[in-house]
Chains A and B, each alone.
Chain A
Amino acid sequence: NAGVTQTPKFQVLKTGQSMTLQCAQDMNHEYMSWYRQDPGMGLRLIHYSVGAGITDQGEVPNGYNVSRSTTEDFPLRLLSAAPSQTSVYFCASSLGVWETQYFGPGTRLLVL
């Protein structure tokens, strides 16, 4: 199993540009989530999904959209990037909401 994969590893955007961060898992996990981690801080939940077709907001959802059309994929969309979105983004998955979460390697995003 590849586990949780994220692409790209690193991205530079200009303010106002849009992009999609990709997340995929091959463990048939129902629960997937996106976190952001700012320098020296813990992780904060952006959006999560308890299964295909079902998504919900976390602590810091503003400026981000998600959808879950398949069990395997959970992309995170930035519609109009802002410097405040400069961060490292982690995707995680687990069998269920309560189960151990497995994290991807992260995407480092810099918005100029």
Chain B
Amino acid sequence: DAKTTQPNSMESNEEEPVHLPCNHSTISGTDYIHWYRQLPSQGPEYVIHGLTSNVNNRMASLAIAEDRKSSTLILHRATLRDAAVYYCILRDRRGAQKLVFGQGTRLTINP
């Protein structure tokens, strides 16, 4: 599986945008970029995924670099409830039997 690199932690203020980076320099052409997050004492939950184009949903936006070697998860207006560990995961649709979780980025939101 191709690897991802994320900062261990980030901090932001409530109601401000948050940009969570992810590097995946060894990404293959068939790898999709998935983001999950894990709120304190809960199981992970799906946030968003994309292949090449930028993607938006009600939770977040995903900006993918033109060369696909990096991506950024954007929370447009962070709330205290967005404090969580965010995982950037590559999934190859040909062999997506599992999600491979790294250590993720712990996001702290200050009131």
Report B24-53 CB contacts with A as 1/0, cut-off 8 Å.
000000000000000001111110000000
Report A64-105 CB contacts with B as 1/0, cut-off 8 Å.
000000000000000000000000001010000110111111
Closest chain A residue to B99, Cβ basis: A101
Contact A101 B46 (CB under 8 A): yes
Contact among B91, B93, B96, B101 for A42, CB-based, below 8 A:
B101
Contact B97 A97 (CB under 8 A): yes
Contact B98 A59 (CB under 8 A): yes
Contact among B87, B98, B101, B103 for A40, CB-based, below 8 A:
B103
> Within residues 12 to 48 of chain A, which ones have a CB less than 8 A from any CB in chain B?
33, 35, 40-45, 48
Contact A33 B98 (CB under 8 A): yes
Distance from B95 Cβ to chain A, minimum over Cβ atoms (Å): 9
Give 23 CB contacts A-B under 8 Å.
A4-B43, A33-B98, A41-B103, A42-B101, A42-B102, A45-B98, A45-B99, A48-B97, A58-B97, A58-B98, A59-B98, A97-B96, A97-B97, A98-B91, A98-B93, A100-B46, A101-B99, A102-B46, A103-B43, A104-B43, A105-B42, A106-B41, A106-B43
- In angstroms, Cα B44 to Cα A106, docked, is 10
Which interface class (under 10, 10 to 19, 20 to 34, 35 or more) fits B? 10 to 19
- In angstroms, Cα B43 to Cα A27, docked, is 17
Set of chain A residues within 8 Å of B93, measured between Cβ atoms: 98
Interface centre among B41, B43, B101, B104 (most CB of A within 10 A): B43
Closest chain B residue to A31, Cβ basis: B97
Contact B98 A48 (CB under 8 A): yes
Given contacts A48-B97, A59-B98, A98-B96, contact A90 B103 (CB under 8 A): no
Distance from A106 Cβ to chain B, minimum over Cβ atoms (Å): 6
- In angstroms, Cα B43 to Cα A58, docked, is 18
Set of chain A residues within 8 Å of B104, measured between Cβ atoms: 42
Set of chain B residues within 8 Å of A103, measured between Cβ atoms: 42-45
- In angstroms, Cα B91 to Cα A97, docked, is 11
